Amino acid sequence: MSETIARKRIAVITGASSGMGREFVLALDKQQEFDELWLIARRRDRLEALDALTRAPVRAIALDLSVQTEIDKYKEMLTAEKPDVRVLVNAAGFGKFKAFTDLTLEEQLAMIDLNDKALVSMTYLTLPYMKDGSCIYQLGSLSSFQPVPYINVYGASKAFVLSFSRALNKELEKQKRDIRVMAVCPGWVSTDFFDRAVVDNDTIVYYNRFYTAESVITRALKDMKKGKDVSICGFPVRMQVYATKMLPHGIVMEIWCKQQKK
C-alpha cells in the first residue's frame, strides 16, 4: 500500500480556491493525467467544490500559508506519502493598493509572508519530490519588472518572485535536472484579487486593459512547453515590459504616477 502511495502522480496548486489558482486547476487537469490534485487554500468548501469539475480526484487541504506552522503540515504530508509531484503551482498571494505609510506594518509583512516566504518554502519542500519532466509555475506580475508607487510592497514582492524563479530555473538546468521553473507575469487580470487589493477608489484609478485568467494560463502552459522561464500574456503587456527595460525607472514611475493622477 505504501509503495502505491509513493508513486502517486500529483499536482500541487496553492491559492486554488479562486482566481488564477482555480483556473490553473481546471487547465492542468485537462492537460495532464494525475492520480490526485492537492489543492491548497484557506477555504476548504471552495476546494472541495472543484472535485465535481475535475477528472482527477481532489484532496482539499485547508492551510494558511502565511503561517509557518501551516506550511509544516504540508511538509509532514510530503514526508508521509512521498508523492511524485509532476506540477507545482504557487498561485497564493495578495496585494494592497495604498500608499506605504497608509497601510499597517502587519499588512505589509503579510504580503511578503505569503507572496515570497510561502512561495520559497513550498518550492523548497516540494523539489525533492519532483522528477525529470516536472515543472513549477510561480505567479509573478507585470509589476515584477518595475518599481510601482502605491503598490509598493506588492510590486517588490513580485520582483522577488521573478528573480528567484529565473535564477532557480538556471540552477536546475546547470545541475542537469530536467525540472522547469517559470514565472507567470500577467498585467491586470479579472479575478477576485481586486476584492482585497482595492482599499479605496482614489489610490489606483487607471487600468489600461484586463485579461482573463483563462487566457493568461493558456499562454503559460504553451510557454512552459517552449522552455521559457517567463510567461507574459498579451502583446501590449510584452511591449510595456520592453519599455520598462529601455527607459530609466525614474521615468517609468513618473508615467505611472501621472496615469494614477498623483
Q: Return the active site residues.
A: 154
The number of C-alpha atoms within 13 Å of 78 and in the hemisphere containing its C-beta is 20
78-97: b (≥16 Cβ within 10 Å) or e = beeebbebbbbbbbbbbbbb
Exposed, middle or buried by CB within 10 Å (0-12, 13-18, 19+), for 173? middle
Closest CA to 4 of 28, 36, 32, 45: 36
What angle do helix axes 105-112 and 152-174 make, rounded to 10 degrees? 20
Cα–Cα distances in angstroms (integers) from residue 55 to residues 37, 50, 58, 88, 226, in the given order: 10, 10, 9, 18, 26
Exposed, middle or buried by CB within 10 Å (0-12, 13-18, 19+), for 117? middle
Q: Taking every pair of C-alpha atoms in the chain, what is the biggest distance, in angstroms?
A: 62
Q: Which residue has the cell 521573478?
A: 162
